[in-house]
Amino acid sequence: MAYTPTTRLLRNTGYTLLEVLAVLIIAGMLAGAVAWPVKDVLTRTTQKSTIDQIRYFDHLTRAQTRRSGESLKIHIQPWERRLVRYDPQEEEEVGVPLVLPSNLEIEDVLFWPDTDSADGAIVALPCSANGHTPTYALHLTGNDLDFWLVFAGLTGQTTIVQEEEDALSLFDNLSASWNDAD
């Protein structure tokens, strides 16, 4: 077989190990650059989804008591990351409980006027037949998340704060507005 430039090109069609490694390193750097912002987006999405689920759970509990005319309790079980509607007359759970994602924890629960920490015990918040609860706050943590979700007792309006002092400040403002109403 005669040696021609065409046969030489056909033999040199592969890549050297150095070229393959350079391509893999560049691809890895690009993947890392893309994955970093995606992690932040996933964290924010998880936070928003969890907040929406807890708000909806609270809203449905209030709506159910107004519709039925009977009071319920919201049992918050921090160690199981669950919120449960509980019927005190029948002494049983009502409906489907809300279970938080495994990467989120209920670190603490506060409620007004008793602002002592729940320390992992079941917190039973009464929800009256009018759909009113005590004002309460959930401290949610996990995967770069650390915030307080505060629920107004009469309306169910939700406020997100970063520090426990801010949650207690909201409780103090509520206390002042109740004292002004007297």
pLDDT score at 91: 86
Bridge pairing between strands 136-142 and 82-87: unpaired
Topology of the domain comprising 15-181: minor pseudopilin epsh fold (3.55.40)
Burial class (CB in 10 A: 0-12, 13-18, 19+), 13: exposed
Residues 33-47 have a mean pLDDT of 76
pLDDT for 177 beyond 80: no
Number of Cβ within 10 Å of residue 56's Cβ equals: 11
Most confident of 63-72, 101-110, 169-178: 63-72
- For 91, the 3-state DSSP assignment is coil
30-33 contacts, C-beta under 8 A, 24 or more apart:
none
Determine the Cα–Cα distance for residues 105 and 145; give it in Å rounded to an integer: 10
Least reliable range by pLDDT among 42-51, 120-129, 154-163:
42-51
Between residues 116 and 111, which one has the greater pLDDT?
A: 111
Residue at 136: amino acid letter? Y
Angle subtended at Cα 77 by Cα 97 and Cα 63, rounded to the nearest 5 degrees: 45
The residue ranges of every structural domain in the chain are 15-181
Length of the chain: 182
47-57 pLDDT, tens digit each? 788 889 999 99
The mean pLDDT value of the chain amounts to: 83
Residues 71, 112 contacting (CB under 8 angstroms): no
